[in-house]
Amino acid sequence: MIILGVETSCDETSVALVKDERQILSNIVFSQIEEHTKYGGIVPEIASRRHLEHISQVTSLALKESGATPDQVDAVAVTNTPGLVGALLVGTNFAKSLSYAISKPLISVHHLKGHIASLYLTYPELYPPFIALVVSGAHTHLIHVKDYTDFIVLGRSVDDAAGEAFDKVARALGLGYPGGPAISEISKEGNELRYSLPTPHTENPFDVSFSGLKTAVINILNQKRMQEEELSRADMAASFQKVATDMLTAHLIDAALEHKLDVALCGGVAANSMLRMKISDSAKEHNIKAYFASPVLCGDNAAMIAAAGFYEYTNGNFSGIDLNAYATMSL
């Protein structure tokens, strides 16, 4: 079975073909990051317009690279939620038209289920149950993956998402957008113990909070500015990254120990090498297996959407031609 996936929830226009659940035939990702960098963040209208301009060409490339013809595609899977609604509408409408044109079923895929499916593409031997931490620019979700289409959200960020916090701290430090890779890079030269930052606490032990941590960074920056004292950007980035990654690691491992399950990490922030290392070390210490989405599948891509679409297909979850796009939707 071949599923064609479409992903346009943020600033990547992506189309992929995935065969028999876990074999990627093609995965074309057109990133708009350079254009949004000029504005220090994503401009939703620009994102929608670029999706509209590129989606047909990206689809042609994905088909060409896969070696499959449109009539060999068994279903079209598309991210229709959550994300930037104008961006989602482009992919959703395109996928609807494609499914109608080739007379193949349409499958809607929740973006977070897509990120979780990136783990199945990375590890052919991985199957549920496990505890997944999905960390992206918009989400920080701790999820009990009971089965391929059965999820329980154990906790989430009560304010900023992990990636959002990296992006905002990077912006405050003048490191540009996207902030995650910039913080990770500059932190290599920094002293992570130089600045003392708080670890925010939440009522639900499986929730996390980043807003207080981000504000603490900004307050120190303002204080140093007013007192005309120097601030080391590398030390501050490293100090922030230390607290953020310690917090996420503890969060994931605690949930795994409570549920007696292995752990998995996915989403854009899962590319962070410090976070991967800490989770790997802590999991080893507790005799837990840890799975990490392949770095090329951490960011948004359509292969993960096609893979998630496979499980929806086998579960009989199809969508009608009246499918709409939604900025938010629970799992």
Nearest to 6 by CA among 73, 69, 88: 88
Neighbours of 114 (CB within 10 A): 28
Phi, psi dihedral angles at 5 (to 5 degrees): -105, 150
Residue with smaller CB distance to ligand KG4, 155 or 299: 299
Compute the least distance from the CB of residue 116 to Zn ion, in Å.
11
136 is an interface residue for Zn ion by CB under 5 A: yes
Q: What angle do CA 292, 195, 42 make, to 5 degrees?
A: 55
Q: Which does 200 bind (CB under 5 to 8 A by kind): Zn ion, ligand KG4, none?
A: none
Compute the least distance from the CB of residue 86 to ligand KG4, in Å.
16
Q: Which does 181 bind (CB under 5 to 8 A by kind): Zn ion, ligand KG4, none?
A: ligand KG4
Residue with smaller CB distance to ligand KG4, 181 or 205: 181
Residue with smaller CB distance to Zn ion, 55 or 298: 298
Q: How far from 154 is each of 114, 200, 222, 243, 252, CA to CA, in Å?
A: 18, 18, 36, 21, 10
192 is an interface residue for Zn ion by CB under 5 A: no
Query: DSSP label at 145?
Result: E
Residue with smaller CB distance to ligand KG4, 167 or 207: 167
- Phi and psi based region of residue 227 (left: phi greater than 0; alpha: psi -120 to 50; beta: remaining): alpha
Question: What is the DSSP annotation of 25-88?
Answer: EEEEEEE-HHHHHTTTS--HHHHHHHHHHHHHHHHHHHHHHHT--GGG--EEEEEEESS-HHHH
Give the interface size with Zn ion as a residue count (CB under 5 A).
Answer: 2
Compute the least distance from the CB of residue 174 to ligand KG4, in Å.
15
Residue with smaller CB distance to ligand KG4, 207 or 300: 300
Q: Which does 192 bind (CB under 5 to 8 A by kind): ligand KG4, Zn ion, none?
A: none
Residue with smaller CB distance to Zn ion, 136 or 239: 136
Residue number closest to Zn ion, CB atom: 136
- How far apart CA 35 and CA 14 sit, in angstroms, is 16
Compute the least distance from the CB of residue 238 to ligand KG4, in Å.
13
Residues found near ligand KG4 in the complex (CB under 6 A): 10, 136-138, 163, 166-167, 178-181, 184, 267-269, 271-272, 299-300
Question: Is omega for the bond preceding 181 within 30 degrees of 0, making it cis?
Answer: no
- How far apart CA 35 and CA 37 sit, in angstroms, is 5
Compute the least distance from the CB of residue 104 to ligand KG4, in Å.
26
Compute the least distance from the CB of residue 110 to ligand KG4, in Å.
12
Residue with smaller CB distance to ligand KG4, 15 or 73: 15
11 is an interface residue for Zn ion by CB under 5 A: no
Structure tokens at 203: 């009522």
Strand arrangement, sheet containing 106-110: 23-31, 12-19, 2-7, 75-81, 106-110
Neighbours of 67 (CB within 10 A): 10
> Contacting Zn ion (CB under 5 A), which of 300, 308, 313, 319?
300
What is the binding site for Zn ion (CB under 5 A)?
136, 300
